[in-house]
Amino acid sequence: MKSAEAIKHMTEIINSSLTEFGTVMYSVAQTANTLIKQRVVETGKDAQGNMFPPYSTKNMLVNCSNKYMSVAVCNQLAGSKEKRKDLNWVTVKKGEKASRLFELEGGYKQFRELHGRQTAHVDFTWSGELMANIQVVSDQSEHKSGHARISTLSDEKNLILAGNTERKGEILMLSDSEVNEISGIIEDWLAEKWNE
């Protein structure tokens, strides 16, 4: 087949398959989303293969009314007068409201450990809500034009993702091997179309 014929054939394939291509692009985006999440959660590595900076061990202020503080951990840290007496307490004012907080000397890393969460690497999970909220957000028209976007579904989770990205680095980037894997999906589809 001559190059002009090949280009014409490919144009015909693309024009007759736009809807199907949109579906393929959605599949590519879903696969990319899954690959990123697996790598980040299971290995704690960014797209370049570097470990995300570790969980903080800097003192942090907590109290038992924190929605993430379990009753068991609260009791372990401040469940008696003797325990409370040994803590370093701070009063924090926010507007008219004052809150009594105590220092957790081991920081967020200790907070996670006290709650039975892993700390060997940063996985951006606590309840799993953030990772579950990261989804393909692009629409079919974008998919048909060869574009796909992965992001959060809510403003609240977007703020959390932005804060984590600022502190730890890019989270939703694809590694070279992941790009190769999802490129293979498109290449296989094009090869199939070419041979129809």
pTM given for the model: 0.83
Q: Are residues 174 and 141 in the same domain?
A: yes
Residues 41 and 133 in one domain: yes
- Same structural domain, 32 and 128: yes
pLDDT by residue for the chain (196 residues), tens digit each? 577 777 777 677 666 676 788 889 999 999 999 999 999 999 999 999 999 999 999 999 999 988 899 999 999 999 999 999 999 999 999 888 999 999 999 999 999 999 999 999 999 999 999 999 999 999 999 998 889 999 999 999 999 999 999 999 999 999 999 999 999 998 888 788 777 6
137 and 171 in a single domain? The answer is: yes
Is 72 found in the same domain as 38?
no
Quick one: residue 95, left, alpha or beta (phi over 0 = left, psi -120 to 50 = alpha)? left
Of 176, 179, 182, 183, the C-alpha closest to 48 is: 176
Domain assignment of residue 181, given as a range: 3-52+122-194
Structurally, the chain folds into a number of domains equal to 2
Note whether 172 and 146 are same-domain residues. yes
* Cα–Cα nearest to 133, from 141, 121, 124: 124
What sign for the dihedral angle of Cα 65, 82, 97, 59? negative
Measured CA to CA, the distance from residue 37 to residue 44 in angstroms comes to 10
